[in-house]
Amino acid sequence: MPDDFIHRRATTADALPLSTLAAQVFLDTYATHGINEALAREVATVYSAEVFERRMRDAAVELWMVEAGGYTVGFVDIAFATSCPVPGVRGAEVFRLYVQRPFLRRGLGRALMAKAEASARARGLDAIWLTAWAGNQAALAFYQSLGFRDIGTTEYVIDGVGYENRVLCKTLAG
C-alpha cells in the first residue's frame, strides 16, 4: 500500500463516513441512468450508518478501511458466517470492496483484498468468495487478476427486480 495511505480496522465511530462512501460508490457504479425510487430506497436502507454499526458489532464480520489525509477512501467488509450461493463452497465472503473513484488504480483494492485473505487465513479458512454484478466488467477483470475463478451465478434483488451477479471464488495458499 502506498505510504500516504493508512489502513486500519474500522470501528463504530467510522460508520457514518463508511456508509456515505458506500452510498457514493454504489450510486456511481449502478445509477448509470440516474436515481430512481428503488435505488434511493436501497441506499437509504442497505447503506445506512446504523447498518454499518451493526455489522461492526458482529463478531463474524471484519471491516478494514483506508484513509488518505484523514478522509475515508475505501473499505473491505468481510463476512465469516454467510453461505455461498454455490453449493459446496466454504470460506469467507468479501461482502463489499469499495474504493472511491479518484483512488482507483492506486493499489488500494489489492491491499484490501490481501487483508481479506489474511483475515480468512487467520480464522483457519482456505477460500474466499464474493459476488459481483455481471455488468461490472472492470470489477470482474480485477478479481480475475487476483486469481478468482467464476463459479456460478446468483441474483441481487433491488425492489423486487433481480440483477445477475457472478459468484467468484479463490482458494488460498497455505
Q: Is residue 161 part of a domain?
A: no
For 140-153, how does the pLDDT look when each residue is reduced to its tens digit (9 = 90+)?
999 999 999 999 99
Q: Provide the greatest CA pair distance for the chain.
A: 46
Q: Are 73 and 21 in contact (CB under 8 A)?
A: yes
Q: Above 50 in pLDDT, residue 1?
A: no
In a domain? residue 135: no
Q: Distance of alpha carbon 94 from its chain centroid, rounded?
A: 6
Look up residue 75 and give its three cell numbers. Answer: 473499505
pLDDT band at 4 (very low <50, low <70, confident <90, very high): confident
Q: Quick one: pLDDT at residue 33?
A: 92
Measured from the Cβ of residue 26, the count of other Cβ atoms closer than 10 Å reads: 17
The 10s digit of each residue's pLDDT in 80-117 is: 999 999 999 999 999 999 999 999 999 999 999 999 99
Domain count, the chain: 1
90 contacts 170 by C-beta, under 8 angstroms: no
- Helix %, strand %, coil % for the chain, to 5? 35, 35, 30
Q: What is the value of pTM for the model shown?
A: 0.94
* Measured distance between the N- and C-terminal CA atoms of the chain, rounded to whole angstroms: 22
Helix (H) or strand (E) run with residue 135 in it:
none
Q: In what order do the strands lie in the sheet with 61-68?
A: 5-9, 61-68, 71-79, 92-99, 127-133, 161-171, 149-158
- Are 112 and 130 in contact, with CB atoms under 8 Å apart? no
Residue 17 CB coordination number (10 Å): 18
Distance CA 124, CA 118 (A): 10
164 domain residue, yes or no: no
Predicted local confidence at residue 2, as pLDDT: 46
pLDDT of residue 174: 64
In a domain, 61, yes or no: yes
Range of the domain at 25: 5-126
pLDDT in tens, 18-76: 999 999 999 999 898 999 999 999 999 999 999 999 999 999 999 999 999 999 999 99
Confidence of residue 3 (pLDDT cuts 50, 70, 90): low
CATH code at position 23: 3.40.630.30
Domain-embedded: residue 89 = yes
Q: Is residue 48 part of a domain?
A: yes
Question: CA 103 to CA 108: how far, in whole Å?
Answer: 7
